[in-house]
Amino acid sequence: MRRALWIVAAAVAVLVVGGRANADKPAAPVKKLVEEVVATAGGEDKLLTVFRFRERVLITATPAEPVKKDEKGNRTSVVVVGGDWWIGTAKRDKDKVRVLCWAWSLRILLDPKSKIEPIPDTVVGETPTFGLRVSESVKAPVDLHFDKKTKRLVAIDETDTRHRFSEWKETKEGHKYPSHVAGHRFTDRAAGKLQEKQWYQTDILELTPLKELPAELKK
């Protein structure tokens, strides 16, 4: 009888220890999804780190006319992904835009502080998507939605807004980026319900990867 009880106790101990060990490892399906979306972006080496971009950003409920060839834009910024963001030489103090850029670069998925979990599939526009939620490395969870077929980023849900990405382009160095982003506020984020009209849009007119931060911004 004692021997039988000892065997049962030992088996329970093994299951508990094994369960804890497995809990410490990232879930295999999530790890695979991260690898797939990063590969679709060209691999880790092609994810943006430091870059300058010129854009036409508009606060408008009505989608603007397509960008013209000679469009000059109204804002030029330098970004250190996961770090700071400058407009001209003035540093932005909005954490939301910093996190948004970090997320669409996909580098947020590779940060060791990020906790990544799968979220239910949904449809963004007319595109069936799967999703990944990032927490712990950010103040509020961020949801990234990817096209089920292409594995390309389609949208990011951050606090009160869904940012939708389209018109993807590629730098001559092979960095892929969305040249058009439109933001729609949630009426009910839990239910995935959005306001019919957008509240902003931005069109990236030019994007240049940088090897390091410009000297005038290192001060």
Q: Is residue 67 one of the residues assigned to a domain?
A: yes
Q: Residue 92's pLDDT is what?
A: 86
Domain count, the chain: 1
Q: Is residue 21 one of the residues assigned to a domain?
A: no
Only one residue has tokens 């594995």, namely 151
Q: Residue 27's pLDDT is what?
A: 56
Residue type, 137: S
pLDDT tens figures, 103-117: 999 999 999 999 999
Could you give the dihedral angle defined by the CA atoms of residues 60, 62, 67 and 71, in that order, rounded to the nearest 10 degrees? -40
Closest to 185 in 3D by CA, of 170, 207, 200: 200
Q: Is residue 23 one of the residues assigned to a domain?
A: no
As a whole number of angstroms, the distance between CA 72 and CA 54 comes to 8
Q: Is residue 11 one of the residues assigned to a domain?
A: no
Q: pTM of the predicted model, to two decimals?
A: 0.84
Q: Is residue 6 one of the residues assigned to a domain?
A: no
Q: Is residue 4 one of the residues assigned to a domain?
A: no
| Token pair recorded at residue 191 | 């239910």
Low-confidence ranges of the chain (pLDDT < 70): 1-28, 219
3-state SS assignment for residue 207: strand
- Cβ of 104: how many Cβ atoms within 10 Å? 20
